[in-house]
């Protein structure tokens, strides 16, 4: 086990909150948070970013060591949670005691098993991908293209590039290949119809160009069970116009093992 300070890690050209904070919280044995208020002309105010991160730690059910200067007050929404109040004179002693206790209470002989959904979500973070919130028409339309075939919609940390994720570990390779082929045919059909839609006044030329660019960059990710299934599906799409990546259970386990090694 070694300490990681999320804000001090490097994540060039990546979403700082996702790459530097979320993933570190998810993979940490326990977390420490410094809840000291900031000074402003209006007086002391809580640090909004720190409190958001604190909420994420609690949401992931992490063992948390919250610290705050004894002279300051907690925001009302966390005031009821046990917090280590410290001064310059006793901080080192209180911190050492709290960390020793956290190590004892969170130490495990074997890693806690993740549920399949948790495993996949952590794996997606290592691939710098997030499940797309379907909260606007554009994302909803993209999602609905793949949804009937069992695909979910992802986006990278920039939010500008999209991936369809097929979690098809329960299907045979021929079934997976059929689903991917149908999806690519739908995507090809949508792109081919863009000029017609512009001529009919259904969409503008600028909107059509934007959609064509988005669909042209779109990737298709497939999760399968075995490396044999991975090979069979990847071979079927070796010449596809779309970037298709296939991941086996062994690939996912390998990435999670790397995260565990980072924690050791």
User: Do residues 221 and 171 both lie within one domain?
Assistant: yes
Q: Is 54 exposed, middle or buried (0-12, 13-18, 19+ CB in 10 A)?
A: buried
> What's the whole-number mean pLDDT along residues 187-206?
94
Whether 111 is covered by a domain: the verdict is no
Q: Using the Cα atoms of residue 97, residue 103, residue 105 and residue 106 in order, give the sign of their dihedral.
A: positive
- Residue 1 within a domain: no
Asked if residue 183 is part of any domain, the answer here is: yes
Domain shared by 64 and 160, yes or no: no
Boundaries of domain holding 172: 116-263
High-pLDDT (> 90) share of the chain, %: 52
On whether both 139 and 84 belong to a single domain, the answer is: no
Of 65, 83, 106, the last residue of a domain is: 106
CA distance 19 to 128: 7
From 106, 136, 171, give the residue that closes a domain.
106
CA 205 to chain centre: 34
Residue recorded with tokens 């917090």: 83
Asked whether the beta carbons of 194 and 214 are under 8 A apart, the reply is no
* Domain-embedded: residue 140: yes
Residues 97 and 122 in one domain: no
pLDDT at 110: 47
Clarify whether residues 100 and 126 are in a common domain: no
The verdict on 31 and 52 lying in the same domain is yes
Residue where a domain terminates, one of 79, 106, 133: 106
Statement to judge: residues 58 and 94 lie in one domain: yes
CATH of the domain at 87: 3.40.50
Please check whether residues 120 and 235 belong to one and the same domain. Answer: yes
120/244 same-domain check: yes
pLDDT in tens, 131-162: 998 888 889 999 999 999 999 999 999 999 99
- Please indicate, yes or no, if residue 29 is contained in any of the structural domains: yes
Domain match, 91 and 203 both: no
41-72 pLDDT tens trace: 777 888 888 888 888 888 778 899 999 999 99
Among 38-42, 44-48, 84-88, 100-104, name the one with the lowest average pLDDT.
38-42
Same structural domain for residues 102 and 121? no
Classify residue 84: in a domain, yes or no.
yes
Q: How many domains does the chain have?
A: 2
Question: In this structure, is residue 30 part of a structural domain?
Answer: yes
């Amino acid at each position: 086990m070694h300490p990681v300070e999320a804000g001090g890690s490097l994540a060039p050209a990546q979403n700082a909150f996702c790459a530097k904070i979320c993933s570190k919280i998810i993979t940490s044995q326990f977390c420490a948070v410094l809840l000291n208020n900031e000074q402003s002309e209006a007086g002391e105010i809580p640090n909004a970013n720190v409190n958001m991160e604190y909420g994420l730690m609690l949401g992931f059910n992490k063992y948390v060591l919250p610290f705050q200067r004894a002279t300051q007050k907690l925001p009302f929404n966390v005031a009821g949670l046990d917090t280590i109040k410290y001064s310059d004179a006793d901080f080192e002693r209180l911190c050492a005691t709290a960390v020793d206790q956290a190590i004892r209470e969170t130490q495990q002989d074997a890693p806690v098993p993740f549920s399949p959904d948790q495993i996949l979500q952590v794996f997606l973070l290592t691939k710098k991908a997030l499940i797309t919130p379907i909260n606007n028409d554009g994302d909803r339309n993209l999602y609905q293209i793949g949804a009937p075939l069992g695909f979910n919609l992802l986006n990278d940390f920039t939010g500008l590039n999209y991936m369809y994720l097929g979690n098809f570990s329960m299907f045979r390779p021929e079934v997976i290949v059929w689903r991917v082929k149908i999806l690519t045919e739908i995507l090809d059909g949508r792109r081919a119809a863009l000029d017609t839609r512009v001529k009919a006044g259904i969409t503008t030329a600028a909107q059509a160009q934007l959609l064509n660019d988005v669909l042209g960059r779109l990737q298709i990710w497939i999760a399968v069970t075995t490396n044999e299934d991975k090979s069979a599906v990847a071979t079927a799409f070796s010449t596809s116009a779309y970037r298709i990546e296939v991941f086996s259970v062994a690939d996912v386990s390998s990435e999670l093992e790397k995260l565990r090694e980072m924690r050791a």
